[in-house]
Structure 1
Amino acid sequence: MSNQAAWIDGKAQKLRVASADLPKPGPDDVVIKNHAVAINPVDWKIQDYGVFVQSWPTILGEDIAGEVYELGANVSKFKKGDRVVAHQLSLVTGKPEDGGFQLYARAAAVFTAKIPDSLSYTQASVLPLALDTAGHGLYDSREKGFIGLDYPSLTPKPSGKTILVWGGSSSVGALAIQLATASGAKVISVASKHNLDFLKSLGAVEALDYNTPSIVDDAVTAIKSAGGDFAGIYDAISTEASYKFVLPIAEKLGGTHVAVTLPAPKELPSGVTAANVFAVNKDVNGRLWEEYVTPALEQGKLKAVPEAFVVGKGLEYVQKGFDTNKAGVSAKKVVVEL
């Protein structure tokens, strides 16, 4: 069996499709034959800026869906041929075999979950990184500055908590809305006007247009109207474009916890704390993969969103995927089929 990968040789280098070693699983790993891979902004940012990579050449890619090809000695929850989705960890391990953009990839079993037959590999591939990014911000402890919700349930009961998700139509925002709703929280979410119905379909009790001039006051009013204990803000955008609204909202509410996916401003309003999300966190997110993802997908409680936008079939299209993602997509996730 031969393997091929979309290699990256260094900063500002285009991807190069070439042969790669067939990965061997460690004791707690699985090897997956990929059928679909999704592209994230971090991929083209690494290509443009050369950040995060420990050594070149390497294989990027965080989101994969495919079938189990080989099992590590300690892995008992999967069998060969299982349809799965996985979060790939090459940015953490520094090892190319752990990257997603190849025909066969090594995955940590703890960040792998079975998917139902009703869900295509293409659509499933949009989930992993967004799930883990959303999960860390929502479920890590309030003592560390995170939102600290209870873990999601297939039969959630109202928790009496309310949160705001800024950027709800993004991959991370769409998962944050679903997870927080499954944790019993009321979710107010903000996106562009044409995506507001999408936010409500995911569970948001109120969906607001960020282009409205009064958005800060509108969000504060919606949060107060929802009632309960305001637990914090998940900023799925985390750039100056969102901070200029999110931080005034937090300040007007008397201070709160803000989970951010990129570095927060050094100067924060009084009473506002910002905690940086790190998507690879087994202690926080392992439980999501172990207990929630598979049954929630099977029962339709967790939707694989946003919609996959397929740019081609074959590793040679991964570069096109980078370019498409960089150009901008709304309420869609760029996917390459294999």
Structure 2
Amino acid sequence: MATNVAALLLEPQADLVLQERPIPKPNADEVVVRNHALALNPVDWKKQSWGYAIDSYPEILGSDIAGIVADVGSSVTKFKKGDRVLAWTSSRFIGRIDGGAFQTYSVARETVTSPLPDNLSFEQGAVVPLGILTAAAALFDSLGIPAPPTSSSSSPAAAKDGVLLVSGGSSSVGSNGVQLGRRLGLTVIATASKQHHEYVRSLGATAVVDYHSPTVVEDLAAAVAQTGKPLVHVYDAISEASSLKPIVALLDKAGAKDAKLAVVLPWPEAVPKPASAAVVQVLATPFASKATTANWLFKEFIPSGLKDGSFVPSPKLELLDGGLGGLQAGLNKLKAGVSARKLVLKVD
């Protein structure tokens, strides 16, 4: 008999506890996925440790799933039971903890669920959802880059006029930002540790700068100048003081009055904001609520790109042991620091 086991966060800063819960039922526009693989993200340990974006307890963390559709809501038309899928899900997004990823069965909205091609494993599929969703929210909503209405349309000319700088290009959301920027026809420059430069270039970056270098600001300015285009879009996928300081210096040095800087975390008080460029917060949930762009991302860009290889699951995955019981150790490892990898576990 099928059962649902969930890794519950019962109170702030507590370790996860495994408990059995009822298998959730979908609302009209939702699917229930029997998870076969889950991916962990830095926001998961931050929620656990800081209480960030948690409205009440108990909570089920996690947002990246891949598995088999077990049930569909009455208005769902694009999926049926037995389909292989990947999905972004969130207890806050659907309004109940059934949406958390860290369990055997999770609920996801149809608009943010994508077919998983047969040529990819569930583990590879689980790497995708939050990274590409956050990148899309940054580029389309925060930075205002036009989204093509269909996968066959050409990228808007306005998107090609300037440079997109992705800070943290080897991270999950950063590497997806590089790929999406390339798809939109942008000239993409990125920062990353030196050992990840070749990888980030393979994703579509024209130039990659070592953010550890003492001359990082000068190196970025030179890379932008070499393109012959203005720096107008900046996406900081890390958004901590160490990543923001050189970006602010670069923007102020360039006098980039028309530029926008998209950040994924609240602005650190110790870092002055750029004098001219606008700072905008990346919010994945509002973007996920927009059916047109979310459907383009999850029904066209992701499945077609995964199938023909033009979009690759990134960053590279590292498989964890222990099934759901290994989640806490995975969160601890992620908190200690993981570079250019995404932690993934199989669900028993």
**Band of TM-score, shorter chain:** over 0.9
In 1, Cα distance between equivalents of 2:134 and 2:122: 21
Matched residue, 1:39: 40
Matched residue, 2:241: 240
CA drift of 1:200 comes to 0.4
Matched residue, 1:30: 31
Once the two structures are superposed, what CA deviation does each residue of 1:52-83 show, in whole Å capped at 9, x if it has no partner? 22221121110000011111111111121111
Matched residue, 2:334: 325
Structure 1 195/155 Cα, relative in aligned 2: closer, same or farther at 3 Å?
farther
Contact 2:89/2:108, CA 8 A, preserved across alignment: yes
Q: How does 1:108-187 map to 2 (within 5 A)?
A: 108-140=109-141, 146-151=143-148, 153=151, 159-187=160-188
Q: How does 1:244-283 map to 2 (within 5 A)?
A: 244-255=245-256, 256-265=259-268, 267-280=272-285, 281=287, 282-283=289-290
Matched residue, 2:55: 54
CA drift of 1:211 comes to 1.5
CA drift of 1:155 comes to 7.6
Once the two structures are superposed, what CA deviation does each residue of 1:101-143 show, in whole Å capped at 9, x if it has no partner? 1111111011100011111110111111111111111012xxx
In 1, Cα distance between equivalents of 2:152 and 2:337: 34
In 1, Cα distance between equivalents of 2:143 and 2:135: 11
- Secondary structure of 2:314's counterpart equals coil
CA drift of 1:268 comes to 2.1
In 2, Cα distance between equivalents of 1:155 and 1:92: 30
Unaligned runs of at least 5 residues, structure 1: none
Contact 2:3/2:22, CA 8 A, preserved across alignment: yes
Once the two structures are superposed, what CA deviation does each residue of 1:125-182 show, in whole Å capped at 9, x if it has no partner? 1111111111111012xxxx62524448568667233211110000010000000000
In 1, Cα distance between equivalents of 2:132 and 2:17: 29
In 2, Cα distance between equivalents of 1:313 and 1:119: 22
Contact 2:6/2:20, CA 8 A, preserved across alignment: yes
Q: How does 1:298-313 map to 2 (within 5 A)?
A: 298-313=307-322
Q: How does 1:94-105 map to 2 (within 5 A)?
A: 94-105=95-106
Matched residue, 1:87: 88
Letter paired with 1:321: G
In 1, Cα distance between equivalents of 2:77 and 2:241: 46
CA drift of 1:290 comes to 3.1
Matched residue, 1:12: 13
Which piece of structure 1 moves more, 262-271 or 236-245? Answer: 262-271
Which piece of structure 1 moves more, 30-39 or 156-165? Answer: 156-165
Contact 1:167/1:173, CA 8 A, preserved across alignment: yes
Contact 1:154/1:301, CA 8 A, preserved across alignment: no
CA drift of 1:230 comes to 2.9
TM-score, scaled to structure 1: 0.94
CA drift of 1:51 comes to 2.6
Identity %: 38
In 2, Cα distance between equivalents of 1:236 and 1:290: 24
CA drift of 1:315 comes to 0.8
Once the two structures are superposed, what CA deviation does each residue of 1:1-25 show, in whole Å capped at 9, x if it has no partner? 2211111101121111110111101
Which piece of structure 1 moves more, 146-155 or 117-126? Answer: 146-155
Matched residue, 2:4: 3
In 1, Cα distance between equivalents of 2:144 and 2:20: 44
CA drift of 1:265 comes to 4.8
Contact 1:162/1:227, CA 8 A, preserved across alignment: no
CA drift of 1:327 comes to 1.2
Number of residues of Structure 1 aligned to a counterpart in Structure 2:
334
Contact 1:147/1:233, CA 8 A, preserved across alignment: no
In 2, Cα distance between equivalents of 1:265 and 1:286: 33
TM-score, scaled to structure 2: 0.91
CA drift of 1:43 comes to 1.2
Letter paired with 1:269: P
Contact 1:34/1:105, CA 8 A, preserved across alignment: yes
Once the two structures are superposed, what CA deviation does each residue of 1:265-298 show, in whole Å capped at 9, x if it has no partner? 5642321111000111222544312331111111
CA drift of 1:191 comes to 0.5
Structure 1 77/285 Cα, relative in aligned 2: closer, same or farther at 3 Å?
closer
Unaligned runs of at least 5 residues, structure 2: none
Contact 1:149/1:180, CA 8 A, preserved across alignment: no
Letter paired with 2:145: G
In 1, Cα distance between equivalents of 2:151 and 2:268: 34
